[in-house]
Amino acid sequence: MAIVGATGAVGTRMIKMVEESKLHVKSVKMLASKRSAGTKVKYNGEELTVEETTPDSFDGIDLALFSVGGSVSKKFAPEAVKRGAVVIDNTSAFRMDPDVPLVVPEVNSEALKEHHGIIANPNCSTIQMVMALEPIREKYGLSRVIVTTLQAVSGAGNRATQELLDESRASLDGKEYKPEVLPVKGDKKHYQQAFNVLPQIDVFEEDGYTHEEWKMIHETKKIMCGGDMNSDDIQVTATCSRVPVPVAHSESVYFDVLDKNATVEGIRDAIRNFDGDILQDDPDNQIYPQPINAEGKKDTFVGRIRPDQENKGSFHLWNVSDNLLKGAAWNSVEIAEYLDEMDLLRV
């Protein structure tokens, strides 16, 4: 196995997830950029040296987990496949490629049978939303989804997390701090995230949506509608915001079901019995999902399920998940487990 981006926020968690997985790993090669080469990382108690990623790095590799920039994935993932490796890519580089399966194993593992060497890991916010919605779709059908996200700063990388911490200290101390990363490192302006909500994740498209919102719309359709990113079977729209939380995204999801006889208790039962979901929905005792409790866990937590009193067959829910685990590292390793179980770890 190779882990590409082994020193990053997701890469370090991939290492831990592989350690805890059911995979029978003979050896692991740690790869990263030239700048990070020489760094030491631990795997199962053994100290390994991180190597610079080159095409030849993938000689003899069966499985490569990528968590780097999209341009790096586009450069090296095909090289890994040429050398016989199956690639699970955690960037947006291949998600909308019609020949690349976009997979959340609990939702659409059958799509893995169509892979040609590369499998895409969806966007973190998409993953936890379809995890919450899939048991509902299976039981009652699904026609429309309106989501508002409240996303943790770690989704923008280690520098963004550090910026939040530094800003918070500076603000509490009454000092000025010049932000350089958020909302988008490469955009024209940067704003304070500490004690603030930023309604921008990724760059703006011509239609006024951000690219993050575009991803949520079309990734959801591709995953839940048989690979068709433009399907009309489910209508999806999104507003994505960044909040001053280090880890774990939250989402307010409004949805319409096809079966107008659906009930809150029926939805709760569906979620309660769905692998990977944990129901936390007891308003009388103030039990509901919170980011601080989801950090470090692999599950998707769902609560605040209630009907729209004005529209029969419409409901609200609230879901929370660790964006670096189920939203990234764990979903990637879980895909690898499914590939192994389905005897698909081959090009």
Q: Does 346 appear as a known binding residue?
A: no
Q: Does 35 appear as a known binding residue?
A: yes
Q: Determine the Cα–Cα distance for residues 313 and 140; give it in Å rounded to an integer.
A: 9
120 strand-pairing partners: 89, 102
Phi then psi for 309, rounded to 5 degrees? -65, -15
- Whether 225 is catalytic is no
Q: Sheet containing 2-4: give its strands across.
A: 51-52, 29-32, 2-4, 63-66, 86-89, 118-120
Query: Is the Cβ–Cβ distance between 236 and 220 less than 8 Å?
Result: yes
Q: Which of 115, 218, 240, 249 is catalytic?
A: 249
Q: Which of 115, 124, 218, 240 is catalytic?
A: 124
Q: Does 200 appear as a known binding residue?
A: no
Q: Determine the Cα–Cα distance for residues 298 and 329; give it in Å rounded to an integer.
A: 9
Q: Does 36 appear as a known binding residue?
A: yes
Q: Does 95 appear as a known binding residue?
A: yes
Q: Parallel, antiparallel, or unpaired for β 51-52 and 29-32? A: parallel
Q: Does 162 appear as a known binding residue?
A: no
Query: Is the Cβ–Cβ distance between 254 and 316 less than 8 Å?
Result: yes
Q: Does 154 appear as a known binding residue?
A: yes
- Whether 249 is catalytic is yes
List residues forming the annotated binding site for phosphate: 95
List residues forming the annotated binding site: 7-10, 35-36, 95, 151, 154-155, 242, 323
Active site residues: 124, 249
List residues forming the annotated binding site for NADP(+): 7-10, 35-36, 154-155, 323
